[in-house]
Amino acid sequence: MTTSGAPAGWLDDFSADSNGDVGALLLHGFTGSPASMRPWAHFLQERGVAVRVPRIPGHGTKWQDLNKVKWQRWPERAERDLEELLSKYKKVFIFGLSMGGANTLHLAAKHSARLRGIVLVNPMIHIPDPTIKFIDIIKYITPKRPSVGDDIKKPGVTEWGYDALPMKGVAQLHRFLKTTRSNLPAVQTPTLLFHSTEDHVLPVSNTEIVMNEIGSKDKVRIELANSYHVATLDFDAETIFENSHRFIMEKTK
């Protein structure tokens, strides 16, 4: 996996407006890039939904950059696009993959009353590895570990992310997830969650925590049987895209 050779513009911010009243913010995962969300964004754009796909700070460049970013910059960057969508469109949604799911939940806890719904794909909310408690020591000993990216069942597909796992970035991720989890009861927004039954990056406990701890009573979980972690680029992508659009239609009647 590498960011080298990505299609022109796919590692950068992407936006498209519409003449309708619906907007969607799409948030990529840790060590990933906006490329993992572009097909989904184009699908929605073609159906009249305004879209924003921001490049989250520390991503889409080189892995060392992710070791230089504080976690607060991730939701701050996403919130800029969210506020723009809210200023232009009456009905706004947030969609997130993996850490983008945590970013989605972080924003939804703050803006639930202003959102029509959220869609999560294999959302990350905790790191169960017991060594995570030592991450503030590990990060000075080991600047990186092997990448956990490109967990995609479909042959020949990449998410154009980093080929390394930056340890200082992981330390910030751990803080971000702890903060976000503590606010899950404040997420009152209708929620659609997709979970890959075979995910080599995150254990199912992440999905279970989200489903059990968010405050929303309107929540649905759909299992994906033919995709790994980066399901937005995998065999079940159309299932995600079509069901998420149906979700939008249901919540904007």
Dihedral over alpha carbons 114, 117, 123, 124 (to 10 degrees): 20
pLDDT < 70: residue spans in the chain: 1
- Is 65 in the active site? no
Q: How many CB atoms lie within 10 A of CB 200?
A: 12
User: Annotated catalytic, 199?
Assistant: yes
**229, 234, 236, 245: the active-site residue:** 229
**Annotation marks residue 98 as catalytic:** yes
Catalytic one of 81, 151, 199, 234: 199
Give the contacts of 238 (CB within 8 A, at least 6 positions apart): none
Report the amino acid identity of residue 10: W
- Of 3.30.750.24, 3.40.50.2300, 3.40.47.10, 3.40.50.1820, which CATH number belongs to 14-251? 3.40.50.1820
Of these residues, 28, 33, 36, 98, which one is catalytic?
Answer: 98
Residue 186, pLDDT score: 98
pLDDT value at position 1?
Answer: 59
pLDDT at position 147 is 84
